[in-house]
Structure 1
Amino acid sequence: MKSYKNAQEYTAALMDYLRAHGDEEQAVPMEAYMRHQFAFLGIRSPELKALMREWMRMHGGPRAEGLRETVRVLWSQPEREMQYAAMGLLEKRRREAGPAELPLLKELILTKPWWDTVDLLASHQVGGILANHREEREGTVDVWIRSGQLWLQRTALLYQLGYKGKTDTGRLFGYIRHCSDSTEFFIRKAIGWALREYSKTDEATVRAFIASASLSPLSVREALRAAERRKGAGGAVKE
């Protein structure tokens, strides 16, 4: 396993490694799929995951003290795969992450934001930290939901996606009511997604909430999609 003197050397080598595996032809449809908002190297998700596994096998992850620097440098690059690689490195250290990482995560959410990065940062990184540090919710997601900033609000709506029976329904439903009059597509979809996930744990409560709230047709349709599928299958569908 090759080691590097510092985060700068490690990050430069990783970027060279990824760029060497780019495919200009494949980049064209990838950029089109993301509405030409970002440049791409042309490395599809399965290939990128395989490349990162091989990189980690050969070089390991960045040292703990250099992780933030590596992530920030990768995030600053024009190619979208660099941001995906940064999220992969964060994922490797997810169990070690604590409240001290929340400012960095907020920075990443607000930098080059789109659903492909924000949703994973919300449900994996922010959600993981706040599951273990409930006391931090008041100073983060409670503030973000009132910020009026699209991607921070979406993060606040989605951070509990994997919580199941540990979902703080008071916060979830309160956040949804706060955003229920939003005309933003990504907010309406997030409302539906969050409710759909919780319906797999407590469908009756979700249906009762929908009946009491003024939600957009899109949010309601998304929220009930899994429940209606289960109903149509006689309750036999396992989500």
Structure 2
Amino acid sequence: MQLLDEIDAAGDPAVAVALTKYFKVEPGSYGYGDRFVGVKLSTIRGLLKPYLRAAIPLAELERALASPIHEHRLAILCLLAGRASRNPAERPEIYALYLRSTPSINNWDLVDCSAAEIVGGHLLDKPRDILTTLVRSESLWERRIALVATHWFIRRGQSADIYALAAEVLDDPEDLIHKAAGWMLREAGKRVSEPELTAFLDRYAAAMPRTMLRYSIERLTPEQRKHYRDLR
């Protein structure tokens, strides 16, 4: 695919080294085994512009999403997210493609650039049981997809899902899940209802992982932040 060739041509070995450190590819870390050519997201978004309205078959994009190169997958996911937002008629097929491809959506940036637009966008007017299934998955990335997908709802004034899902991950072993849950809780408090957030914190703050709590209370007053930290 021409887009992937352009990404390869833009690669910088020094950037690739930096990205491997940033995305934790060493043995035992969450990004182990991933490969980078050294292209930053800002550059990828620039390369994507001519392709955002191109009629590339979804089957071709799905094949490209299996690439072992991180930036290839990032570009395809950004492209799919853009198409899902621009073309609601395509959302069901993109959503199905996405769920088939979760083994390739295997780092936090890949999730964060796509889950809200693709999963959240598709489910906005539909039952959302799949989010509970995903948040209970053994896959770290499927759990993060469930949490980040709620950003689409939160931006439209709906916060019930994130409170239900955040309660599911209080004992999750992964810091990346704590960060995602805290981020979405913070957004729900900011965009929908601070009293809803504080009611959740009143119930769960003492049991919340420190990272989740820290992210969730960032926009509260200093006095409120101290109160909830002191509950742990």
Q: Fold conserved (TM > 0.5)?
A: yes
What's the offset of the Cα at 1:230? 11
- CA contact 2:143–2:177 (8 Å) conserved in 1: yes
Equivalent residue of 2:137, what SS? coil
Match of 1:217 among 193, 210, 216: 210
- CA contact 1:61–1:89 (8 Å) conserved in 2: no
Per the alignment, residue 127 of structure 1 pairs with: 120
Per the alignment, residue 237 of structure 1 pairs with: none
Per the alignment, residue 164 of structure 1 pairs with: 155
Equivalent residue of 1:166, what SS? coil
1:14 aligned onto 2:3: yes
1:39 aligned onto 2:35: yes
Aligned length: 211
What's the offset of the Cα at 1:197? 0.5
TM-score, scaled relative to structure 1 = 0.78
1:161-215 superposed Cα distances (whole Å, 9 cap, x missing partner): 142353141x322222222122221221122111100010311210111111231
Task: From the superposition, tell whether residues 165 and 74 of structure 1 become closer, same or farther in structure 2 (CA, over 3 Å).
Answer: closer
- CA contact 2:144–2:180 (8 Å) conserved in 1: yes
1:1-239 alignment runs, 5 A limit: 11=1, 13-36=2-25, 37=31, 38-53=34-49, 55-56=50-51, 61-63=54-56, 66-67=57-58, 69-95=59-85, 96=87, 97-131=90-124, 133-135=125-127, 137-138=128-129, 140-162=130-152, 163-164=154-155, 166-169=157-160, 171-201=161-191, 202-213=193-204, 214-228=207-221
The residue type equivalent to 1:220 in the other structure is: L
Q: RMSD over aligned Cα, in angstroms?
A: 2.5
Equivalent residue of 1:93, what SS? helix
d(CA) in 1 for partners of 2:149, 2:112: 8
Structure 2: gaps of 5 or more residues: 26-30, 226-232
Per the alignment, residue 4 of structure 1 pairs with: none
What's the offset of the Cα at 1:92? 3.0
The answer to which of 159-168 and 223-232 deviates more is 223-232
d(CA) in 2 for partners of 1:107, 1:226: 36
Structure 1: gaps of 5 or more residues: 1-10, 233-239
Task: From the superposition, tell whether residues 120 and 211 of structure 1 become closer, same or farther in structure 2 (CA, over 3 Å).
Answer: same
- CA contact 2:102–2:141 (8 Å) conserved in 1: yes
Task: From the superposition, tell whether residues 81 and 231 of structure 1 become closer, same or farther in structure 2 (CA, over 3 Å).
Answer: same
